[in-house]
Amino acid sequence: MWNIITILFGSTIRSATPLIFTALGGTLSERSGVINLGLEGMMTVGAFSAVLVSYYTGSPFLGLLGAIATGAFFGWLLAFLSIHFKANQTVVGTAINILASSLTTFLLVEIWGKPGQTDNVNYFTPWGPFNMFTYLAFILVAISYFVLYKTPFGLRIRAVGEHPRAADILGVNVYRVRYTCVIISGILGAIGGAALSIGSISLFKEGMVAGKGFIALAAVIFGKWHPIGAALACLFFGFADAIQTVSMSLGINVPKEFLFALPYILTMMAVSGLVGKSVAPAADGIPYEKGEK
């Protein structure tokens, strides 16, 4: 019995790790007033870039830096289109997801000459029971909470997400704050993707993200746009994924289709309000026009 609990605990933490990075990014972006629906795509390009750079350099650390750079670019792209051009944030996020999926599929075949998956690359080996990404994820939860609620910059982020015009009148550069938050969101989403590839299985597979970006977005809502709440929601979803893994490995007679669907069922419950009502930041998803009343 104790062995099962230990396996379940470890599997929960490992499953939650990439979600935590991505959910923190989503929390930061939405707190500033921009919905990052492109988290799925940012995880995808992060996972691919990490493997690509690690493949050519032999260094997983450089692979992680490659993922960060790619995530920053895709975050900037979403920010540029949704903040500068005031494009519909849902449409832009969806377009980024499609672009990321198509681009990685194309490059996979072009570089490795085969569809499906890359060759194995150097990756981050575990430090004790978990790898580096797990420890970093929980450190970032504490840092995110401190920045959002204990610093002047965090106050500006929350002000921009709630009342951007009032923040503007008080001298806060709304556009700069939103750009910064969305770019950081892209970076965190890409790190979440890297945690899946060079943090777990040492390669990139088509479809390996498998909706985790959307689950992270649900964790943001479930966690009420709070870093700690989002992290706890990720652990909840990670537990659902761990049940699937442990049940199948122990041969427990539960329909595998139900186990595969369980994390997504819980996600739908979270976003539908069945597990508690959440109120988004007042200006979330609303483009800001300077001087507009």
- pLDDT value at position 2? 74
pLDDT at 291: 65
pLDDT at 271 over 90: no
pLDDT band at 242 (very low <50, low <70, confident <90, very high): confident
Closest by CA position to 190, among listed 16, 74, 33, 62:
74
Average pLDDT over residues 259-282: 75
- Across 221-247, average pLDDT: 90
Higher pLDDT, 259 or 60: 60
What is residue 277's predicted lDDT score, i.e. its pLDDT?
67
Average pLDDT over residues 185-191: 99
**Model pLDDT, residue 189:** 98
Q: Is the pLDDT of residue 275 over 70?
A: no
Mean pLDDT, rounded, for 96-121: 96
Query: What are the sequence ranges of the domains in the chain?
Result: 7-123+133-272
Task: Answer whether residue 292 shows pLDDT above 70.
Answer: no
Higher pLDDT, 244 or 177: 177
pLDDT of 274: 58
Task: Report CA-CA distances (Å) from 161 to 17, 143, 234, 240, 246.
Answer: 26, 19, 23, 31, 40
pLDDT digits (tens, 9 = 90+) for 6-25: 889 999 999 999 999 999 99
pLDDT given at position 5: 84
pTM of the full predicted structure?
Answer: 0.95
Choice among 22-26, 149-153, 233-237 with the minimum mean pLDDT:
233-237
**Residues 128-142 pLDDT 10s:** 889 999 999 999 999
Q: Is the pLDDT of residue 251 over 70?
A: no
Of the listed ranges 68-82, 180-194, 200-214, 232-246, the one predicted with least confidence: 232-246
Fold topology of 7-123+133-272: ABC transporter involved in vitamin B12 uptake, BtuC (1.10.3470)
Per-residue confidence at 262, pLDDT binned at 50, 70, 90?
confident
* Whole-number pLDDT of residue 131: 93
